[in-house]
């Protein structure tokens, strides 16, 4: 699967190493050395993936992700950083990054992460490789759970007709759960939707995505009625109006 990839890294040796590995796998790679250049390149070229260092001049990686998501850019983002605390990890995911690696890292591990992310990128156009996802989303059908509508082909979500902007990771989780309303999905099952069978990301990744989805699709995120927690098992997507009718009958 060949893709257009932007590498934003101000360490020249690190950037060259990443570029060589990516090009060896057949990808087209553009390297930039600061955050503003990364923003300009994404806006101009609409790449499939942005490999983004956190600590950079002229706008750090976190600011870059924040701006791109505010602009509704759907480019996949793999963040690289020397920071390794859970707070840093969650902040990157919270802003809309799709994956996160701490330095130093193995180039082979980086390539595995890239392959996994690109398998989830419908815009890459290449044939899927590796194991199939846990749930197949039908691309040409709109998924509905109550007033929640998900259009996989257009990558659009709405609640009662109001558009909802989702990151690629959030969309994958929501679309997968919408194929089987009221089914309980374990965190591991949802991780498989996000990253194939890659084991590097923690279960906490799913929790962060669920938290942000609730802010976007729930009337009262602290008292969710659509995206429910099944304690000790996982999460399920349901129709609150249907549940209310059943409660009254």
What is the pLDDT averaged over residues 105-130? 65
pLDDT in tens, 173-229: 898 899 889 999 988 888 777 664 344 455 677 888 888 899 999 999 889 999 999
Q: Distance (Å, rounded) from C-alpha 168 to C-alpha 174?
A: 10
> Which pLDDT value is given to residue 138?
39
What is the pLDDT averaged over residues 67-73? 86
> Which pLDDT value is given to residue 38?
94
Strands (E), the chain: 4-8, 28-32, 49-53, 76-81, 99-102, 143-145, 148-151, 156-159, 162-164, 185-186, 227-230, 234-237
> Which pLDDT value is given to residue 118?
82
> Which pLDDT value is given to residue 88?
60
Q: Distance (Å, rounded) from C-alpha 61 to C-alpha 96?
A: 11
Q: Are 36 and 58 in contact (CB under 8 A)?
A: yes
> Which pLDDT value is given to residue 201?
53
> Which pLDDT value is given to residue 84?
55
Task: Flag whether pLDDT at 50 surpasses 90.
Answer: yes
Q: Which domains does the chain have, with CATH numbers?
A: 4-124 (3.40.50.2300), 143-248 (1.10.10.10)
The dihedral through the CA atoms of 120, 95, 50, 11 has a sign that is negative
Task: Flag whether pLDDT at 34 surpasses 90.
Answer: yes
Q: Among 15-19, 90-94, 98-102, 170-174, whose mean pLDDT is lowest?
A: 90-94
> Which pLDDT value is given to residue 137?
37
């Amino acid at each position: 699967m060949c893709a257009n990839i932007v590498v934003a890294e101000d360490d020249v040796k690190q950037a060259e190493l990443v570029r060589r590995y990516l090009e060896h796998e057949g990808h087209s790679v553009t390297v930039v050395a600061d955050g503003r250049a990364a923003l300009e390149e994404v806006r101009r070229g609409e790449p499939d993936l942005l490999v983004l260092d956190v600590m950079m001049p002229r706008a750090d990686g976190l600011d870059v992700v924040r701006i791109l998501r505010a602009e509704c850019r759907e480019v996949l983002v793999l963040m690289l950083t020397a920071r390794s605390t859970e707070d840093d990890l969650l902040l990157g995911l919270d802003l809309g990054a799709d994956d996160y690696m701490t330095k130093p890292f193995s180039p082979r591990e980086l390539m595995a992460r890239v392959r996994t992310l690109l398998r989830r990128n419908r815009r890459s156009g290449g044939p899927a490789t590796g194991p199939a996802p846990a749930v197949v989303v039908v691309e040409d059908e709109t998924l509905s759970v109550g007033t929640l509508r998900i259009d996989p082909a257009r990558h659009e979500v709405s609640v009662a007709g109001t558009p909802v902007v989702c990151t690629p990771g959030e969309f994958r989780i929501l679309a997968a759960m919408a194929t089987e309303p009221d089914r309980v999905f374990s965190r591991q099952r949802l991780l498989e939707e996000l990253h194939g069978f890659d084991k590097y990301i923690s279960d906490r990744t799913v929790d962060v995505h669920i938290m942000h989805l609730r802010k976007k699709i729930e009337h009262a995120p602290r008292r969710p009625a659509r995206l429910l927690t099944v304690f000790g098992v996982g999460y399920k997507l349901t129709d609150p109006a249907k549940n209310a009718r059943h409660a009254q009958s």
